[in-house]
Amino acid sequence: MPLDLFTVGDPIADTKAPMDVPIGERWSTRRFRGRLVNPANRRKMTIIVVGTGLAGGSAAATLGEAGYKVKSFWYQDSPRRAHSVAAQGGINAAKNYRNDGDSVHRLFYDTVKGGDFRARENNVHRLAEVSVNIIDQAVAQGVPFAREYGGLLDNRSFGGTQVSRTFYARGQTGQQLLYGAYQALERQIAAGNVEQHARTEMLDLIVVDGRARGIVARDLVTGEISTHYADAVVLASGGYGNVFYLSTNAKGSNTTAIWRAHKRGAYFANPCYTQIHPTCIPVKGDYQSKLTLMSESLRNDGRVWVPKERGDTRDARQIPEDERDYYLERIYPAFGNLVPRDIASRQAKNVCDEGRGVGPGGLGVYLDFAEAIQRMGRPAVEAKYGNLFDMYAQITGENPYETPMRIYPAVHYTMGGLWVDYDLQSTIPGMFVIGEANFSDHGANRLGASALMQGLADGYFVLPSTITEYLADGPFEKVDDSHPAAAEAIAGVRDQVQRLLSINGTRSPASFHRELGKLMWDLCGMERSEESLRKALDRIPEIRQEFWTNLKVTGTEGSFNQTLEHAGRVADFIELAELMCVDALHRNESCGGHFRAESQTPEGEALRDDENFAYVAAWEWTPEGAPPVLHREALEYEYVHLAQRSYK
């Protein structure tokens, strides 16, 4: 495709996975072959961990236990608030407690297939292997998983699989797993092994002689800019879904840590892969600040429909059966309302685009329990879904037992992230990236209950084992603020803060964020086309231009200034948005969460182009003005056969 928007660089490859042994032995082989660091040397080495979610919290705790000096950073007041806390559904593990044919290999297979064949086989297999240890670890920490009357752990099934392998703690699995990691982290803080930096935001990476050696951070309470040095830096700062402004992410979730690292040389992989969750509560008005997800289990009994006629504004209950279009049941008779997330989301968009959407602004479809209530009785529906119905009522003020709920898809997770090798090391030696912040395990689409699994696998088990290979060469020469690389990074951060404060225009950071988010949602959202992406790529530089000339940030640098924090994050989102659109434009195929209008089957389903796009797109930042450089990592499938997904 002729594109002036990027240039193509050398291919990139993972060289760390031992390819000379079968896939089932690669992780143990890698652990055996990797060099170790003896306990006396660990005490001499410092590791910075940014973020305290499932990945960062578990990594900081585990590295602290191992004897390294750990410095942990988070932007909230307490590490317990990281957004992993909001995950509802559960965590997958190949325990096969149900004796239903589950195995490590099946979890591996399901995940690669669910990711629409755009994930790296080696990483996914390791994830499946490690999954069983996570459950053991969490149970020992006191995570109160759901249990059966016999006292053993309960499991349920989740989308995209035929076995019951999901462990859960009511609808708050993320919260309970995070508290397990948080408590382990607090134990290490108390033991003096982890130094805590609350309400501190990483604003740049310090790279010395090609190695990541520290970060520049801002204390959000006092505004002080400080530097922190280490032998290795671990980023666990989560995903970038807030580039869309409205998402199910926390308000503070941002791309700043990984984006600034990207600008220091870390490749950014597959930025266009975003997951849109089909069952969220629709937007109500311009003031909306946040979208709330409701468990997709609702689709087990609820029926999705819209009026057959466009512009039908009658009350839902007034619309007779034969004037309703149960479109998922109509289009996908085999799977009906239970099609995968990406398909359910896109069809909702299609019917709304046709003008048949319901609710304010026509951006919603009905999720109707009338039939379920008739069939099962209201008490049974209440027992199964009561808490979700209450949540819906709390937010919307409507009664879902009487009128159908309205739902609409929302941005939920980003599969893309910084490129890492099998060791979870980025293209900057000494900088490791774990959890949602990296790109590694989910390909183009993440299966339900796999995000918690990946975060904890990376933090508890993978990173602490692989980082030793790098640290075996350490400790590295001491660095301080006088080093030119450090001085340059500090100056850059100070300069940006000053610039943001001195523009003194008329628009708040939030207004730019909203504008950018709407643009991304409309043009680089559930469905992308060359036309829409080109339009976005025309608009984004204009937004950036206006941002840097018409922004208004009140207050001062040296104080608790939430507007300033937000401004810095929006600046990075604007730059990231551009790369996302370039990536989406260059990937002229549909796969998983990335649906290109030009690439679909005659029935309108996502059509992959394995011949041309079975690769990871790893983007290299180039200084302003120059287009980004694409490095391709070819994906080869030895164990899972490439196939077109079908849910009809």
Partner 1 sequence: MLVVTVTDSAQRRTPKAAKTSSVFKKVVMAVSGIILVLYLIAHMIGNLKAFTGRESFNHYSEWIRTIGEPAVPAQTTLWIIRVVLLAAVVAHIWAAVTLWRQAKRARPQGYVTKKAVAQSYASRTMRWGGVIIFFFVIYHILDLTVGAVNPDGTGSTPYDRLVAGFSNPFVTAFYVIALLLLGMHLRHGIWSATQTLGQSNRRREVTVNAFAIVFASLLTLGFLLVPFSVLFGLID
Partner 2 sequence: MTATREGAIRVGDATDTPAEKRGMTLNLRIWRQNGPSAKGKMVTYKVADISPDMSFLEMLDVLNEQLIQAGDDPVAFDHDCREGICGMCGVMINGMAHGPQQTTTCQLHMRSFKDGDTIDIEPWRATAFPVIKDLAVDRRAFDRIIQAGGYISVPTGTAPEAHSVPVPKKDADSAFDAATCIGCGACVAACPNASSMLFTAAKVTHLGLLPQGQPERNDRVVNMVAQQDREGFGGCTNIGECSASCPKGISMETISRLNHDLLGALRAGARPKS
Which spans of this chain sit near partner 1 (rule: CB under 8 A)? 195-198, 200, 219, 222, 224-228, 481, 490, 494
Q: What is the footprint of partner 2 within residues 318-377 (CB under 8 A)?
A: none
Which residue lies nearer to partner 2 by CB, 20 or 315?
A: 315
Exactly one of 172, 255, 345, 590 binds partner 2 (CB under 8 A); which one?
A: 172
**Window of 99-107, 229-237, 507-515, 635-643 that interacts with partner 2 by CB under 8 A:** 507-515
CB of 197 to partner 1, least distance (A): 6
Given the complex with partner 2, which of 97 and 335 has the nearer CB atom?
A: 97
**Count of residues in contact with partner 2, rule CB under 8 A:** 88
| Tokens standing for residue 471 | 């640290």
**Considering just the CA atoms, what is the radius of gyration of the chain in Å?**
24
Residue 384: which residues within 8 A CB-CB, separation 6 or more? 301, 376
Of partner 1, partner 2, none, which one sits near residue 290, judging by CB under 5 to 8 A according to partner kind? Answer: partner 2
Least CB distance from residue 213 to partner 1, whole Å?
Answer: 15
Q: Which is nearer to partner 2, 133 or 600 (CB)?
A: 133
Q: Which of 31, 98, 105, 187 binds partner 2 (CB under 8 A)?
A: 187
Give the strand pairing for 629-634 and 615-620: antiparallel
Applying CB under 8 A, the span of 142-150, 424-432, 520-528, 610-618 interacting with partner 2 comes to 142-150
Minimum Å gap between C-beta 93 and partner 2 is 9
Report in angstroms how near the CB of residue 262 gets to partner 1 at its nearest.
24
Give dist(CA 401, CA 389) in Å, integer.
8
Question: Please, which residue, 132 or 225, has the CB nearer to partner 2?
Answer: 132
d(CA 47, CA 310): 58
Give the integer Cα–Cα distance in Å for 425 and 48: 14
Of 181, 160, 149, nearest in space to 111 by CA: 160
- 197's contact among partner 2, partner 1, none, with CB below 5 to 8 A by partner kind, is partner 1
Quickly list DSSP for 384-432.
HHHHHHHHHHHHH---TTTS-EEEEEEEEEE--EE---TTSB-SSTTEE
In the set 15, 99, 289, 482, which binds partner 2 (CB under 8 A)?
289
Name the amino acid, one letter, at 388. L
Of 16, 95, 539, 631, which lies in the binding site for partner 2, with binding defined by CB under 8 A? 95
Helices (H) then strands (E): counts for the chain: 18, 21
Query: Which position among 81, 197, 442, 645 is part of the footprint of partner 2 (CB under 8 A)?
Result: 81
CB of 630 to partner 2, least distance (A): 35
- 617 by DSSP, 3-state: which? strand
Instruction: Please identify, among the stretches 130-138, 227-235, 341-349, 419-427, the one whose residues bind partner 2 according to the rule CB under 8 A.
Output: 130-138
Q: Which is nearer to partner 1, 130 or 497 (CB)?
A: 497
Catalytic residue IDs: 341
Cα 596 to Cα 259: distance, rounded to the nearest angstrom: 25
Strands 365-368 and 405-414: antiparallel
Using CA atoms, how far apart are residues 157 and 160, in angstroms rounded to an integer? Answer: 9
190 binds, among partner 1, partner 2, none (CB under 5 to 8 A by kind): partner 2
Residue 302 burial (CB < 10 Å; 0-12/13-18/19+)? buried
Whose Cβ is closer to partner 2: residue 28's or residue 559's?
Answer: 559
Q: Quick check: 291 and 277 in contact, CB under 8 A?
A: no
Provide the minimum distance between the beta carbon of 125 and partner 2 in the complex, in angstroms, as a whole number. 20
CA distance 71 to 168: 31
**Residue 52: strand, helix, or coil:** coil
Distance, CA of 315 to CA of 368 (rounded, Å):
13
Q: How far is the CB of 479 from partner 1 (least distance, A)?
A: 13
Cα pseudo-dihedral 345, 523, 445, 288, rounded to 10: -60
> Which residues, including other chains, have CB under 8 Å from residue 502's CB and lie 6 or more apart?
none
Task: Please report which residue ranges of 191-309 form alpha helices under DSSP H.
Answer: 256-263
62 binds, options partner 1, partner 2, none, Cβ within 5 to 8 A by partner type? partner 2
Residue ranges in 242-261 that form contacts with partner 2 under rule CB under 8 A: 248, 250-252
Residue 22 contact, options partner 2, partner 1, none, Cβ 5-8 Å cut-off depending on partner type = none
Give the one entry of partner 1, partner 2, none that residue 562 binds, where binding means its C-beta sits below a cut-off of 5 to 8 angstroms depending on kind: partner 2
Q: Which two tokens stand for residue 277?
A: 């969750």
Q: Is the peptide bond before 475 cis (omega within 30 degrees of 0)?
A: yes
Among 54, 119, 169, 520, the residue binding partner 2 under the rule CB under 8 A is 169
Q: Which tokens go with 221?
A: 């309470």
Query: Are 347 and 331 spatial neighbours (Cβ–Cβ below 8 Å)?
Result: yes
The listed partner (partner 2, partner 1, none) that binds 330, CB under 5 to 8 Å by sort, is none
| Contact partner at residue 563 from partner 1, partner 2, none, CB < 5 to 8 Å by partner kind | partner 2
The single residue among 461, 512, 595, 615 that binds partner 2, judged by CB under 8 A, is 461
Shortest Å, Cβ 519 to partner 2: 19
CB atoms within 10 A of CB 529: 17
Angle at 393 between CA 391 and CA 399, to 5 degrees: 140
Contact 392, 382 (CB under 8 A): no
- Of 45, 54, 61, 471, the residue at the interface with partner 2 (CB under 8 A) is 61
Q: Nearer Cβ to partner 2, position 283 or 493? A: 283
Q: Among 63, 83, 434, which residue's Cα sits nearest to residue 72?
A: 63
DSSP output for 525-593: SSSB-HHHHHHHHHHHHHHHHHHHHHB---S-TTS--HHHHHHHHHHHHHHHHHHHHHHHHH--S-BTT
Q: Which is nearer to partner 1, 214 or 302 (CB)?
A: 214
- Identity of the residue, 539 or 566, whose beta carbon is nearer to partner 2 in the bound complex: 566
Of 384-423, which residues contact partner 2 (CB under 8 A)? 386, 389-390, 393-401
Q: From partner 1, partner 2, none, which one binds at residue 86 (CB under 5 to 8 Å depending on kind)?
A: partner 2
Q: Of the two residues 253 and 427, which places its CB atom closer to partner 2 in the complex?
A: 253
The entry of partner 2, partner 1, none that residue 494 binds, CB within 5 to 8 Å by partner kind: partner 1
Q: Which of 1, 15, 506, 625 binds partner 2 (CB under 8 A)?
A: 506
Per partner kind, with CB cut-offs from 5 to 8 A, the member of partner 2, partner 1, none near residue 227 is: partner 1
In the three-class reduction of DSSP (H, G, I as helix; E, B as strand; rest coil), residue 357 is classed as coil
User: Is 99 within 8 Å of 73 (Cβ atoms)?
Assistant: no
Closest CB to partner 2 among residues 325, 565: 565
Judged by CB under 8 A, which of 498, 545, 549, 554 binds partner 2?
554
Q: Kindly state whether residue 85 participates in binding partner 2, applying the rule CB under 8 A.
A: yes
Structure tokens at 537: 């790529």
Choose which of 464, 474, 517, 593 interacts with partner 2 (CB under 8 A). Answer: 464
The option from partner 1, partner 2, none interacting with 225 (CB < 5 to 8 A, set by class) reads: partner 1
